[in-house]
Amino acid sequence: MKKKCLECSTEIAGRIDKKFCSDYCRNAYNNKVNKDSKNLIRNINNRLRKNYRVLDSFALKDGKTNTTRTRLLDKGFDFDFITNLYTTKKGTTYFFVYDLGYLPLDNDYYMIVKRE
């Protein structure tokens, strides 16, 4: 009994446990199978990169600066996408996107910081 390629259904010659006729078919098949999860991951990574670029666009003096929520939103910042949280001993919580973070202050102000 001849085996058929899982992608293009052509007959496979070679090893008994072979599933694909070529690397092209193997890649095409796996890309189809993993498409949904890869799109989700790609979209999340794009949002994280965008947030990082927005935070990085502010000039930092001594590793920090202040800005408003409106400025962040105008540049396209999405507060739902962060990579980690850091809580100080005093209980203050910093929100980080990789090594750049922000601390919510009073009156919709935010302090942007860079982790050393």
Please write the tens of the pLDDT for every residue from 43-93. 999 999 999 999 999 998 988 999 999 999 999 999 999 999 999 999 999
Domain boundaries, the chain: 36-114
Residue 1 has pLDDT above 90, yes or no: no
Nearest to 46 by CA among 69, 78, 72, 73: 78
Distance, in Å, from the CA atom of 48 to the CA atom of 65, rounded to the nearest integer, reads 20
Return the H-helix or E-strand segment holding 113: strand 109-114
Residue 36 has pLDDT above 80, yes or no: no
Distance, in Å, from the CA atom of 62 to the CA atom of 114, rounded to the nearest integer, reads 9
Q: What is the mean pLDDT of residues 40-45?
A: 90
CB atoms within 10 A of CB 110: 22
Q: What percent of the chain has pLDDT over 70?
A: 99
Task: Please state, rounded to an integer, the average pLDDT across all residues of the chain.
Answer: 92
Residue 13: the pLDDT is: 87
Residue 99: the pLDDT is: 92
Residue 111 has pLDDT above 80, yes or no: yes
φ, ψ for residue 56, nearest 5 deg: -70, -20
DSSP string, 17-46: T---SSHHHHHHHHHHHTHHHHHHHHHHHH
Residue 101: the pLDDT is: 94
